[in-house]
Each structure stands twice: as structure tokens, then as C-alpha cells.
Amino acid sequence: MPDINPYDYIPQPSAGVLLEPCARQEADLASATAVVIDAIRATTTIVAALAAGAREVVPYATADEVRAEAARRPAGTFVTCGERLGERIEDLDLNNSPPAMTAKAVGGKSLLLTTTNGTGAILAAMEAETVLVAAMANRTAVARRAVALGRRIVFLTAGTVGTVAAEDVLVAGACLDAMAEAAGGEAYHLEDSARLALAAWQAARDRLVETFRATWGGAFITGLGLDEDLGACCEVDTTDVVPVVRGPPPVVTVG
């Protein structure tokens, strides 16, 4: 059977969603805009940190990498942050928690971050032409920026320990909904995966907290007593901050 590239047949520019982490293996990001989503909680935390005045967010795959970088930096210029399975890594300063990203905690500093799913998703997206970071909080701002770039858009979901995460798909759908209102958004063809994400968002938008709470990730952090975090992850269009990842090594700043 001959090799078939579906993008030879899908009208361009298009927008699609990698619905679970294994889809990254076949994704062609080289000439695309990648939008990374880990709604509960890493990308929501990144957006909150930059909105609170953090100088940059530096993502790492492991806690040891965070510790090594912290040892190289002058004291007082950074904050360490990380979790595994929802709980703060013991010797790091902060949990991966949007409400913890206050101006007092992170303003003017570098946030050195490692998380269970989200930072790995950012690292996986780095072959893309442009990498943006999205959450419910900045979905309209990200949609406008992605459309303005004019390239194929790939929403890269972090998932939950290797499986689909409904909340990530909902954020992708929320961004796709905002794209329709953005100047130039009408030119975008929605791939099948994007149509699924958009339909999911349209079905859930009026009961977002309830829907997030029912997801695997939402139920998990609620079980840890992190209801405030969950609430923050459900807040829609609270900031115009658009995090852009540049590198290597990857560094996230306000674009």
C-alpha cells in the first residue's frame, strides 16, 4: 500500500488535535504552529505565572534537572516548582498550582518547572515552527495569535499518564471556538479531530466545572483536596497573556 500523507488532501490551512500522547509519534509539526495544552494543571500554571510577572518559565523533564539548574543560578532569581502525580516534589518550592503563581511568589523570577505530563508535552512540541501554551484562561488570545501566524495549527494535548485527557480536548475545543471569531479564522479547515474537540466544548461550556471535576484528572486533584486549583483551571478568558516557547533549550516567555 503506498504511503499517504493526509495533508495532501486536507485543505490548508487546517487545525487538528492530537487527542492523546501516542499521536505525537506520527505528527508532522515541522511547519506547523503547535499549541500545547495540559489544562490540569501545567499550562494553566504557566499562564498564571507569566500573568503574575514571572520573567520566564523553564520546563524540565525531571526534578533532578530542576535541582541542577537551580544550583547554577544566583539565589533569589528563581523559584523551583514541580509535582509527580499531583503532589509537590518535596524539596521544590512550589506545587504545580495556578493559585500559587502570585506576584509575590514568582514576580520577576524564573520558574523552573517539572510536571507529570505537561512539561514533557512542551519538550515534545519543540520541532514545530512556533510553540504556544494554552489554557482556558487565555484561549481567545492564543486562538488569535495562532490564526495570525497563518500556518497549520496542531493542538498538542498532554494527556494523563499516556491516555486521553478530556479537559485538554475541551481547551482545544475552546480555542477552536475562539478561532472562528478571530480575523482570518474563517480560512481554517477543521480536521476531524478538531471537529470532535469543538463539539465537546460546545456540549460542556455551560457546565465546565462539573465536567472538569468528572474527568480523571479533575477527580484526581479533587481527591487531593485541590479544589481551588480545579476552579482556576476552569476560568475562561481571564488574561491576554500568550506564552511562547523558544529554544533549545526551551524557555517560555510572554510572546
Distances, alpha carbon 138 to alpha carbons 18, 27, 240, in Å: 20, 25, 6
101: which DSSP letter? -
Segments of 197-250 assigned E as strands: 243-246
Domain range holding 20? Answer: 10-40+127-254
What is the number of alpha carbons within 13 Å of residue 252 lying toward its C-beta?
33
The pLDDT of residue 117 is 96
**Residues 149 and 235 occupy one common structural domain:** yes
Rg from Cα positions in the chain: 17
Cell output for 71: 544550583
224: domain CATH number?
3.90.1560.10
How many domains, in total, are found in the chain? 2
**Residues 33 and 69 occupy one common structural domain:** no
Distances, alpha carbon 216 to alpha carbons 5, 40, 138, 226, in Å: 34, 10, 23, 14
CA 178 and chain centroid, separation: 16
The pLDDT of residue 9 is 81
Count of C-beta atoms within a 10 Å radius of residue 148: 12
4 in a structural domain: no
168 in a structural domain: yes
Low-confidence ranges of the chain (pLDDT < 70): 1-2
**Residues 18 and 108 occupy one common structural domain:** no
The pLDDT of residue 10 is 87
The three-state secondary structure class of 241 is coil
The pLDDT of residue 8 is 75
Which among 118, 135, 156 is the end of a domain? Answer: 118
3 in a structural domain: no
The pLDDT of residue 2 is 59
Contacts 24+ apart (CB under 8 A), 65-69: 65/114, 66/92, 66/112, 66/113, 66/114, 67/91, 69/112
Are 197 and 155 in contact by the 8 Å Cβ rule? The answer is yes
pTM over 0.85: yes
**Residues 60 and 131 occupy one common structural domain:** no
Are 105 and 94 in contact by the 8 Å Cβ rule? The answer is yes
**Residues 80 and 94 occupy one common structural domain:** yes
Are 36 and 226 in contact by the 8 Å Cβ rule? The answer is no
The phi-psi region of residue 184 (left if phi > 0; otherwise alpha if psi is between -120 and 50; otherwise beta) is left
